[in-house]
């Protein structure tokens, strides 16, 4: 899914700058830049879809770690 974010001036000067661009100040007024998010793109994914996405990533990230944690818990209990 396409999702965009960019820098723009906090004072609302025209101009959008790539987040990978090395730029800290607005070229027009010299004030700070802030990150803008494409909120419409975020809204197009439902809450359930976000939960599913993070759930999938969590499972992938944990890999084989879950069984080891379970064994550890058993060990601790055994020592008490
Ligand atoms: Zn500005």
Q: What is the pLDDT of residue 4?
A: 85
Instruction: Report the C-alpha gap between 27 and 47 in whole angstroms.
Output: 38
pLDDT of residue 40: 81
- The pLDDT assigned to 51 comes to 87
Please give the model's pTM, rounded to 2 decimal places: 0.49
Span from the CA of 41 to the centroid of ligand 1 (angstroms): 25
Percent of the chain with pLDDT over 90: 35
Mean pLDDT across the chain, nearest whole number?
80
Please state the domain extents for the chain.
5-61
Q: Please identify every residue whose CB atom is under 5 Å from ligand 1, which is an ion.
A: 9, 11, 13, 26, 28-29, 31
* pLDDT (0 to 100) of residue 76: 57
Q: Which helix (H) or strand (E) holds 36?
A: strand 33-37
Residue 67: phi and psi, rounded to 5, are -60, -40
Inform me whether the pLDDT recorded for 19 exceeds 60: yes
C-alpha 19 – ligand 1 centre gap (Å) = 16
The stretch 46-61 carries a mean pLDDT of 83
């Amino acid at each position: 899914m396409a999702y965009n974010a960019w820098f723009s001036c906090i004072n609302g000067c025209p101009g959008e700058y790539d987040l990978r661009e090395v730029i800290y100040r607005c070229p027009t007024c010299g004030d700070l830049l802030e990150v803008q998010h494409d909120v419409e793109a975020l809204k197009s994914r439902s809450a359930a879809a976000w939960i599913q996405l993070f759930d999938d990533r969590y499972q992938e990230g944990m890999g084989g770690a879950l069984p080891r944690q379970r064994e550890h818990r058993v060990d601790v209990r055994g020592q008490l």
